[in-house]
Chain A
């Protein structure tokens, strides 16, 4: 019963959270955000007291059920683990000693790195964000592809109830990281059950410190137990030592798979006094290799991408080089992102304008994969506040439409030498056309032509001008990021002379 309830909750959780990430049509209700705010890392970084109390109580009462029913990456591993049983009949787990040295080193390392401004390590290992990136970079394109195929077929029959959506991979680096994470986590789950959760995952290690002392836990009744080992063979956490009648509660994820298999009914989920102590032992293992290979992959990809950038800059004309990246509206500053963002890419997924993109080293090494504004595929809609209202981490703070209108993410810079009007002496004005505040305004130039003139003080940094500027090879108008987001000056309306039109004029 407990097991079935756990499975039901877990499946609902995984489906909803995945849908929240991959939905492009705005069908997913905003309320689903709740499922992301109760994830441990976002709750910690956003200092979401309510969620933290809930998670603490949940774990203190029932152990690490979080890992089986709330954490999407945990549930994903269970799906894989179940899947593996179709191929490996009579799959048996064995009790393994805890790799405490490794897992607590990782936990401590992640915490130290975070406070030293190297948030990237936390982003890389934190399970909710790993799942977010997998959903955003891998599941979403598959979902879009399916939609596009269906929309294409319906379109042939003149039915436009579905529409085609562009599939864009915004960051190759994040795509690679997501793919590697998916492969490693899935492989570990397929082969070794919850090895990732009990050796690498910093959230698992942290919750394990509480679950050791949880009030309800799984216990073996030494008097009725005949040490047959059936429960241990089912334990994907490999934390049941049936010979010693011991369970390592710091590793038990509360899946309850062990309960129904005991013929003697010797293993139970009951009220218990905190008593167990995990043996402190360490042993070299494969997961360290896995961890090193992730880091190694990163270390290889970094110079590769650097080289790509260097190639681009070999071109003759110099493009405008941004001094600072633009962080998403409401994120305050790159520094604030560094303190809160674990790169789950929920904002990147939900941004309807494709303006958010995972950064590479623009924010420095610590901010790799955190969201930044980039205007190759779109620009920030003036009235849109989706990203700021969707962030569970408190990295992008909520904005109202009115606040957004005065949030200056960057300032416009005009390079006349690249401008079509200056070079070809023909009308253009694409930049000004897109400018919501007329920080880019067309003014008289010569022979009836008009040329852009900029007023950075009223610019919000939406990037409409930069996105649409048709000048090649390099744009004539760019937005320079603000280190700390400023308040844009409100534009002044020209006095509205009430014009009365009485005749046609022709």
Chain B
């Protein structure tokens, strides 16, 4: 046994000792049948406020953060921090929203909150210029790097069609619960980048997606057993054209929307319909959503859902 093995073992033993049976049980409940659907809403949609204000309303209607994050849990938050862009250019999730979510996680008793994204541009620039690193740290979160393969661990996706295995960031795999916080964007390749596309950033090898049917691989990664406990779609500023990177402020529309749901397919369907009012985007073209529906990862039929709509 070398030093590295010893340290790894020591760290893992320490980690394992922190897991109590009740928390493990909660975890199972979250990935299985959702008890929330019985009483509360399947989805909450908010319009007309600042990002953090809209989130406060939305999470309240969903039953409060305490329903998704339990005391003593390790929470992982996955925003979209893909590009070296300032918040005004809508390339990344709104930093105020991330700050608010981190804060609410701690209020709900989270032991630790970690934030990461596998960025496209230089990660240090993305973390800094997106404002997310500062906002998350200020709220007490740990912002961890994701630019090297060693931060990832291979997992298998037995229900996937193409992407049978993937290397997923350890911060997410080692968390108790995780929250998916995408921004609503036009996307040249995937047509739209929302919650499902945001999950591409938990994976090391993104080239595989592009090379082997992008739209199917996006659906496949969402079959990860550890579903996000919440998907929070930031549609405060929407990148309506030239996405996912955007060129200038001309690509940005101030739409002031926010959608939140445990159902990743439903929330993305709703977000596309919202986006379609700003720039034309028929849901049929965003084929990864239908692909995910086929994998039974969620519901595309919003009419059958209990949705709360709030205008501020």
Contacts and interface: CB of A to CB of B under 8 A. Distances in A.
Interface of A: 26, 152-153, 156-158, 160, 163-166, 352-353, 378, 381-384, 420, 424, 426-430, 432-438, 441-442, 448, 450, 468, 470-472, 491, 493-496, 499, 501, 503-506
B144 interface: yes
Contacts of B144: 160
A452 to B, nearest CB: 9
Interface of B: 4, 7-8, 10-11, 45, 47, 84, 112, 120-122, 124-125, 142-145, 147-148, 150-151, 187-191, 206-208, 210-216, 240-242, 244-245, 247-251, 253, 255-257, 269-270, 273-279, 284-285, 287, 302, 307, 309
B214 A501 contact: no
Contact of B4 (A152, A352, A430, A499): A152
Contact of B11 (A26, A158, A491, A503): A158
Contact of A381 (B122, B190, B251, B255): B122
B148 A165 contact: yes
A146 to B, nearest CB: 15
- Point out which of B120, B121, B216 has the most chain A C-beta atoms below 10 A from its C-beta: B121
20 contacts: A153-B7, A156-B7, A156-B8, A164-B145, A352-B124, A382-B84, A424-B213, A426-B214, A430-B206, A432-B189, A433-B120, A433-B189, A434-B245, A438-B247, A448-B287, A468-B120, A468-B210, A496-B249, A504-B45, A505-B275
Contact of B188 (A433, A505, A506): A433
A503 B148 CA distance: 42
Dominant SS among interface residues on chain A: loop
A470 B210 contact: yes
B274 A504 contact: yes
Given A499-B278, A505-B276, 7 more contacts: A381-B122, A427-B213, A433-B189, A434-B245, A470-B210, A504-B270, A506-B45
Contacts of B249: 496
A152 B311 CA distance: 48
A427 B287 contact: yes
Contacts of B244: 433
A434 B122 contact: no
Contacts of A158: 11, 112, 142
Nearest to B129: A383
Contacts of B277: 499, 501, 503, 505
B189 A437 contact: no
Given A160-B144, A499-B278, A427 B189 contact: yes
B253 A506 contact: no
B47 A436 contact: no
A160 B145 contact: yes
Nearest to A166: B148
B122 A448 contact: no
Contact of B84 (A26, A157, A381, A501): A381
Nearest to A435: B245
Given A429-B190, A506-B274, A448 B269 contact: no
Given A156-B8, A501-B255, A164 B151 contact: yes
Contacts of B147: 163, 166
Dominant SS among interface residues on chain B: mixed
A401 to B, nearest CB: 12
A427 B213 CA distance: 6
A156 B120 contact: no
Contacts of B10: 156
Contacts of A156: 7-8, 10-11
A450 B287 contact: no
Contact of B250 (A26, A381, A433, A494): A494
Given A424-B213, A426-B214, A436 B245 contact: yes
Contacts of B216: 426
Nearest to A442: B188
Contacts of B274: 501, 504-506
A504 B47 contact: yes
A158 B242 CA distance: 38
A448 B188 contact: no
B213 A164 contact: no
Given A158-B11, A491-B247, A494-B241, A470 B189 contact: no
Nearest to B144: A160
A506 B248 contact: no
Nearest to B240: A499
- Point out which of B143, B208, B247, B257 has the most chain A C-beta atoms below 10 A from its C-beta: B247
A428 to B, nearest CB: 5
Contacts of A430: 189, 206-207, 210
B247 A493 contact: yes
A420 B215 CA distance: 13
A231 B14 CA distance: 64
Contacts of B151: 164
B189 A381 contact: no
- Point out which of B4, B211, B215, B216 has the most chain A C-beta atoms below 10 A from its C-beta: B211
